[in-house]
Amino acid sequence: MTSMKCAAALLLAGALPSCQQILGQDPARCDQSTATVRQAISLGDFEAARQWRDYTWKVCDERAVVATLDKEILDGEAALDAKAKASAREAKELAQARINAAQKTWLEFDAAKPAERTRETLDATRKSAKRLENGLSPTYASKLEAYNLAQYEKRLAALGR
């Protein structure tokens, strides 16, 4: 009987790796899918990362790998969200600085002596204020453009009196 137990044990030991592959667990596929998940995360494609993470769960026998990938996906999304918020904040701060500069430009025109407030100096002030619109997001650029146009028309009407 011991020889039969040995034969059964050898048969089972030889069949175990192929049984794992039949069930889908394969170390090579696990490594490849893990690398693919990480590549998708680095590219910011979190939908693909989640799809590959699901595949990884099927082909990896170590669940710690999947837990690590879940954390990496969540951390990547959080980092991308923080970056987007910081970018929006920077755009808003830049727009506010440009609006302040435009206001200063128009106030400098108003502070000039009446003899110096001519159509030519008004046009030069408008050109200077208009340059501040460059490099802003379309939303902020259109707001600054509307502000500059209103200030120009107001001063142009005052010159006409």
Where are the alpha helices (H) located in 44-137, listed in sequence order? 46-59, 63-111, 119-131
> Does any domain span residue 113?
yes
Q: Are the CB atoms for 151 and 106 separated by under 8 Å?
A: yes
In a domain, 38, yes or no: no
- 119 lies in a domain? yes
Q: What is the mean pLDDT of residues 94-119?
A: 95
Number of domains composing the chain = 1
Query: pLDDT value at position 24?
Result: 61
113-132 as b/e, with b when 16 or more CB fall inside 10 Å? eeeebeeeebeebbebbbeb
- Examine residue 118 and state whether it is found in any structural domain, yes or no: yes
Contact 61, 21 (CB under 8 A): no
Please tell me the predicted confidence (pLDDT) of residue 25: 77
- pTM confidence score: 0.62
Query: Is 76 a domain residue?
Result: no
Identify the pLDDT of residue 160: 82
| pLDDT beyond 70 at 32 | yes
Residue 58 lies in a domain: no
- Containing domain of residue 104, as a range? 87-160
| Mean pLDDT score, 104-110 | 96
> Does residue 125 lie in a domain region?
yes
- Does residue 77 surpass a pLDDT of 90? yes
Q: Is residue 114 part of a domain?
A: yes
